Amino acid sequence: MLDVSAFDRDPNATQHRMIDDRGSQWYVAQTHPRCEAKAAEHLKRQGFGVYLPHFCKKRRHARRVDTVNAPLFPRYLFVSVDIATQRWLAIRSAVGITRLICNGDAPAVVQRNILDALRQREDENGFIKLERRPFRLGEELRVLDGAFTGTLGLFEGMSDNERITILLDLLGRKVRVNLDAESVVAA
């Protein structure tokens, strides 16, 4: 809660308060599963600024690999609100929104430099460029999808076509397996 009497005593404090009240700040809203785009559209219609960062994700299905547009933070988006002039409580009832992330009763502010850093990583099409960290020889990796989901293995190498070779311990033997680079993460 803002103590107005403190601003009445200090004329400079009143000036800072007015500057802060006029500017909008960024907050995080949680959405229903796979409803990020729908929620963003409804928030824009209500006059809120929205930032929903996306990246290109490779998806394997039926022996095909597709590149699809995916949210960088599934189930979350950034909302720009001027708390002094906009009804921020309306965000909670927007279509596709589950809740606004709060600290107590007030929405939690996201620092602008975080959003600026995300925007700087966007390519010409507006997608966030993710940097692939090279794995070290012998590093333990976890398989994310496919027949070996959840299995741990050791990194052995990487080929030219973005496939990696890992050693899996299956039935007491070390088995060499080639997988897509997107199919594994460091364990």
CATH superfamily membership of 4-120: NusG, N-terminal domain (3.30.70.940)
Q: Is the pLDDT of residue 66 over 90?
A: no
Where are the chain's structural domains? Answer: 4-120, 140-186
- Over the stretch 130-168, which tens digit does the pLDDT of each residue have? 776 678 889 999 998 888 888 999 999 887 666 889 999
Which fold is adopted by the domain 140-186? SH3 type barrels. (2.30.30)
State the Cα–Cα distance between residues 182 and 146, nearest whole angstrom: 11
pLDDT at residue 25, as a whole number: 94
- Over the stretch 72-124, which tens digit does the pLDDT of each residue have? 999 999 999 998 888 888 898 999 999 999 998 888 999 999 999 999 999 99
SS (H, E, C) 83-147: CCCCCHHHHHHCCCEEEECEECCEECEECHHHHHHHHHCECCCCEECCCCCCCCCCCEEEECCCC
Q: Among 11-25, 126-140, 169-183, which stretch is predicted with the lowest mean pLDDT?
A: 11-25
Residue 126: how many CB atoms within 10 A of its CB? Answer: 10
Average pLDDT for residues 54-80, to the nearest whole number?
Answer: 86
State the Cα–Cα distance between residues 184 and 174, nearest whole angstrom: 18
Residue 109: how many CB atoms within 10 A of its CB? Answer: 14
- Over the stretch 32-52, which tens digit does the pLDDT of each residue have? 999 999 999 999 999 999 999
pLDDT at residue 115, as a whole number: 94
DSSP 23: S
State the Cα–Cα distance between residues 4 and 186, nearest whole angstrom: 51
Sort 61 into a burial class: Cβ within 10 Å, 0-12 / 13-18 / 19+: exposed
The chain-wide mean pLDDT, for the chain, equals 82
Sort 154 into a burial class: Cβ within 10 Å, 0-12 / 13-18 / 19+: middle
The answer to whether 132 and 143 have CB atoms below 8 angstroms apart is no
